Amino acid sequence: MIYFMKLKQKPFQMIQKGIKTIEMRLNDEKRQLLQVGDFIEFTNIETNEKIKTQIIQIYSFKNFYDLYFYFEDKTKLGYNENEVALPSDMIQYYKEEDIDKYGVLGIEIKVVSSNV
């Protein structure tokens, strides 16, 4: 199965370069369908460029605090080495009541092709 998701420029480029290997998402109804081996096509919302990735592992967590604690290497999550990685950064994307309702995912991916 292939799923379609959008990303801002920075995380898109970090995935493209193989630095960001964990995509963080709310575990809503759409994401609950994801399975290891499925594909995700990411679209850069600024350039419309596309990357096709394959899911190699899915990690479920109660909230982003647990997810951030689990992954020691924050570059995998899309942070530069000198950046402070805070779970509260994800509040700009998701409401706290939705996080409490659904939980969150760390979707481990690998790039299979660019400019799909």
CATH number of 2-114: 2.30.130.30
User: What's the pLDDT tens digit per position in 66-93?
Assistant: 999 999 999 999 999 899 999 999 988 9
Residue 88 structure tokens: 């509260």
Residue 63 structure tokens: 């909230």
* φ/ψ of residue 19, rounded to 5: -85, -55
Task: With CA atoms as reference, report the closest residue to 108 among 65, 63, 70, 81.
Answer: 70
User: What's the pLDDT tens digit per position in 94-115?
Assistant: 999 999 999 999 999 999 998 7
Q: What is the pTM for the complete model shown?
A: 0.94
Q: How many CB atoms lie within 10 A of CB 108?
A: 18
pLDDT of res. 114:
80
Domain boundaries, the chain: 2-114
pLDDT of res. 1:
97
